[in-house]
A and B are shown apart, each in its own frame.
Chain A
Amino acid sequence: MTTAQYGAITVEPFGDSAVMVTIPHADQAIRRAATVAFRDRFLAHRPHGVLDVVSGLESLLIEFDPLRTALEHVEYAARLVARWAPAPSDRTDGGRAVRTFAIPVVFDHDNGPDLASVAEELGLAPSGVVEAIAESTFTVALLGAAMAPMMDGLKVPGPVRRRAEPRTDVAPGAVMIAGTNAIIQPFPGPTGWRVVGRTPHTIVDISRPDPAAFGTGDIVRFVPVTRDEAEALNAGFPLPTGEGA
């Protein structure tokens, strides 16, 4: 990703102490990738007074302390970063290295109640959907609600729709897909994503100083296992299989 691919950014005020940054581009995939790239650069060159940065799929909310900085300074800094900051793939920011994970997943009807309907929607057999997921290489784009890793990279014949009626209580560890994305449910709760499997790992453990197993940019592959194999793993907090992309 280079700056030349997106160039200008749009910065809009959002209330009295935040701005919303978007990257106009006709191609959705480029918009999304550029948003991730911009976020990483901006965090690596975080201006004084910036409190937090919230990633959306195609936008970035920058929250600042209005007593320590002003909207104009934040906007100026954002434009400078978009234009001049080095690409994040250079990892000159001292940020953590990209790690790779192989995550065991049980894909069956009990653990993946939406597997059959996804298969029907895509014109595949359920085993074909599992195969497609297992052959995809995912990149963690952002941590969503409660540190749920939201990943890009699902290679299926077409984008997967969300559920019309969200499920109200999905178990932790549920592996879910929608569009060309995948996500893992960290805690019990509702979701509109399609539930296709479940990993025995605990992907967010609040007793750890750093509770989330995954960080943005990490590479994830899903490895189909049987229910017995999953139980035998005695899986806890997942550890990476390697570092460096």
Chain B
Amino acid sequence: MKTVALEITGTGWITTFQDLGRTDTERRGVPTGGAADQHSATVANLLVGNARSATLIENLGGELAFVPDADVLVAVTGAPARVTVAGGPVEAWSPLVVPAGHEVRVRGDMTRGARVYLAVNGRMAARTLLGSAAPDARMGFGQNLAPGSRVLLETGFGGFGRGRFEPPLFRLPVPVPRFDDGPWVIDVVASHGGHAIPGIREVVEESAYVVTPRSNHVGLRLDGPVRHPDTDTEIVSHGVPIGALQIPHADELIVLGRYRSLTAGYPIVGVAARASLPMLGQAGPGRELRFRWIDRESSLRQFARRAAEVRTLGQAAAEAFGALGFEEPLSHTK
């Protein structure tokens, strides 16, 4: 193991340490938080032989750039992005050897997805709050990176002794999501709050919704038609799942994200299917969304398929890296 420094030479609008979020803290008032697009974050880590939940870097908007002071193994995932090493274009969604002193630049295409993820083989040194490096702005835990920041990394990676222009060492079965130009279809499981609003099911299914710039990590705020319940029921705050579709008093639809807290009792008409959550995490301002109702069983089948693809990648990556005698961090791989 050795310590490597990544000198951050450029950051986007928001660049932070990130991981898959906190576990078992919601009952103590701290949202799970973590990568908005959990699929991309997980895959980035698996592609460099890390545990799924290893600390990585999330970048929203602009351009992320860094220079390592030793050879490192990295992977970029998330929104379609232009990735270069010392000016030459390289592949995203693939393990990538970056030689010492070469600058990596990552510019996500904001029109097609909001966030990119950068994983580096090894253990990034980052502060944690309740066991996770994920930021929690509300608690004053920003985790922001700025140009000039130095990210320290404990890594066992010693390089493969290969040039940048040689063919890839191995081909991995990488489940790359589609980042379509047109509207994204989000699957939703109906919930009891929908019954209080006659016709809401049809309205949500038939309308187009557009993500507004008022959106943040707490929720996506969508422009589009909604209906309200006829009666004002008593407001009693309660917990809500990630992906809940909430109708506040105003004429908008809110899709709650990973940093939601208790809701003030507004009607919840449905909850996005687990397999749709990563795309919601990538939906930036201007993105058009369509909703499709599905039942719970279909939703779970879909999620199980997605999970199996990620597991297959994890196994293939572990075997490939293991065959290279490159196993130190893999002992943490779940």
Residue ranges of A at the interface with B (Cβ–Cβ < 8 Å): 12-18, 20, 39, 43, 51-61, 63, 66-67, 71, 142-148, 186-187, 189, 204, 206, 211-212
Flag whether B138 is at the interface (Cβ < 8 A). Answer: yes
Is B274 a contact of A16 with CB atoms below 8 Å? yes
- B residues less than 8 Å from A55 (CB atoms): 27, 239
Flag whether B312 is at the interface (Cβ < 8 A). Answer: no
Tell me the chain B residues, 1-47 only, with Cβ under 8 Å from chain A: 23-30, 32
Task: Kindly state the interface size class of chain B when it binds its partner.
Answer: 35 or more
16 other A-B residue contacts (CB within 8 Å) besides A56-B237, A56-B238, A147-B139: A12-B192, A14-B268, A14-B271, A15-B271, A17-B274, A20-B239, A53-B26, A67-B307, A142-B27, A143-B27, A145-B29, A145-B138, A146-B30, A186-B139, A206-B129, A211-B129
Query: How far does the alpha carbon of A187 sit from the alpha carbon of B32 in the complex, in Å?
Result: 18
Query: How far does the alpha carbon of A161 sit from the alpha carbon of B304 in the complex, in Å?
Result: 47
Flag whether B303 is at the interface (Cβ < 8 A). Answer: yes
Query: How far does the alpha carbon of A18 sit from the alpha carbon of B261 in the complex, in Å?
Result: 15
Is A56 a contact of B189 with CB atoms below 8 Å? no
Q: Are A204 and B238 also in contact (CB < 8 A) when A12-B192, A52-B26, A145-B261 are?
A: no
Is A147 a contact of B192 with CB atoms below 8 Å? no
- A residues less than 8 Å from B243 (CB atoms): 15
Chain A: minimal CB distance from B248 (Å): 14
Q: Are A56 and B29 also in contact (CB < 8 A) when A16-B189, A187-B140 are?
A: no
- A residues less than 8 Å from B216 (CB atoms): none
With both beta carbons as reference points, the residue of chain B lying nearest to A58 in the complex is identified as B236
With both beta carbons as reference points, the residue of chain B lying nearest to A143 in the complex is identified as B29
Q: Are A15 and B244 also in contact (CB < 8 A) when A59-B239, A71-B296, A148-B29 are?
A: yes
Flag whether B241 is at the interface (Cβ < 8 A). Answer: yes
Between A and B, how many residue pairs show CB distances below 8 Å? 118
Q: Are A16 and B303 also in contact (CB < 8 A) when A51-B24, A53-B26, A55-B27 are?
A: yes
Q: Mark B274-301, 1 if CB is under 8 A from A, else 0.
A: 1000000000000000000000100110
Chain A: minimal CB distance from B315 (Å): 16
A-B contacts, 30 of them at CB < 8 A, read: A14-B241, A14-B268, A15-B189, A15-B244, A15-B270, A15-B272, A15-B273, A16-B271, A16-B273, A18-B271, A51-B24, A52-B23, A54-B238, A56-B238, A56-B262, A59-B239, A61-B238, A61-B241, A66-B274, A66-B303, A67-B303, A142-B27, A143-B29, A145-B29, A146-B138, A147-B139, A187-B138, A187-B139, A206-B129, A206-B141
Is A15 a contact of B29 with CB atoms below 8 Å? no
Is A211 a contact of B130 with CB atoms below 8 Å? yes
- A residues less than 8 Å from B240 (CB atoms): 14, 61
With both beta carbons as reference points, the residue of chain A lying nearest to B265 in the complex is identified as A56
Flag whether B191 is at the interface (Cβ < 8 A). Answer: yes
- B residues less than 8 Å from A189 (CB atoms): 138
Is A60 a contact of B130 with CB atoms below 8 Å? no
With both beta carbons as reference points, the residue of chain A lying nearest to B30 in the complex is identified as A147
Query: How far does the alpha carbon of A71 sit from the alpha carbon of B296 in the complex, in Å?
Result: 10
Is A52 a contact of B241 with CB atoms below 8 Å? no
Chain B: minimal CB distance from A31 (Å): 9
Query: How far does the alpha carbon of A142 sit from the alpha carbon of B244 in the complex, in Å?
Result: 22
- B residues less than 8 Å from A15 (CB atoms): 189, 191, 241, 243-244, 270-273, 296
Is B239 a contact of A146 with CB atoms below 8 Å? no
Closest CB pairs A-B (n = 8): A15-B271, A54-B239, A56-B238, A61-B239, A143-B29, A145-B261, A16-B299, A52-B26
- B residues less than 8 Å from A18 (CB atoms): 241, 271
Query: How far does the alpha carbon of A48 sit from the alpha carbon of B319 in the complex, in Å?
Result: 30
- A residues less than 8 Å from B27 (CB atoms): 39, 43, 52-55, 142-143
Q: Are A57 and B274 also in contact (CB < 8 A) when A14-B191, A147-B29 are?
A: no
With both beta carbons as reference points, the residue of chain B lying nearest to A18 in the complex is identified as B241
- B residues less than 8 Å from A63 (CB atoms): 26, 241
Chain A: minimal CB distance from B118 (Å): 25
- A residues less than 8 Å from B270 (CB atoms): 15
With both beta carbons as reference points, the residue of chain A lying nearest to B22 in the complex is identified as A52
Tell me the chain B residues, 96-136 only, with Cβ under 8 Å from chain A: 129-130, 136
Tell me the chain B residues, 206-247 only, with Cβ under 8 Å from chain A: 236-241, 243-244
Chain B: minimal CB distance from A15 (Å): 3
Query: How far does the alpha carbon of A61 sit from the alpha carbon of B241 in the complex, in Å?
Result: 8
- A residues less than 8 Å from B261 (CB atoms): 144-146
Chain B: minimal CB distance from A191 (Å): 12
- B residues less than 8 Å from A187 (CB atoms): 138-140
Chain B: minimal CB distance from A22 (Å): 9
Query: How far does the alpha carbon of A51 sit from the alpha carbon of B24 in the complex, in Å?
Result: 6
Query: How far does the alpha carbon of A57 sit from the alpha carbon of B307 in the complex, in Å?
Result: 34
Query: How far does the alpha carbon of A148 sit from the alpha carbon of B29 in the complex, in Å?
Result: 7
Is A57 a contact of B29 with CB atoms below 8 Å? no
Chain A: minimal CB distance from B136 (Å): 8
Q: Mark B132-171, 1 if CB is under 8 A from A, else 0.
A: 0000101111000000000000000000000000000000
- B residues less than 8 Å from A43 (CB atoms): 27
Is A16 a contact of B139 with CB atoms below 8 Å? no
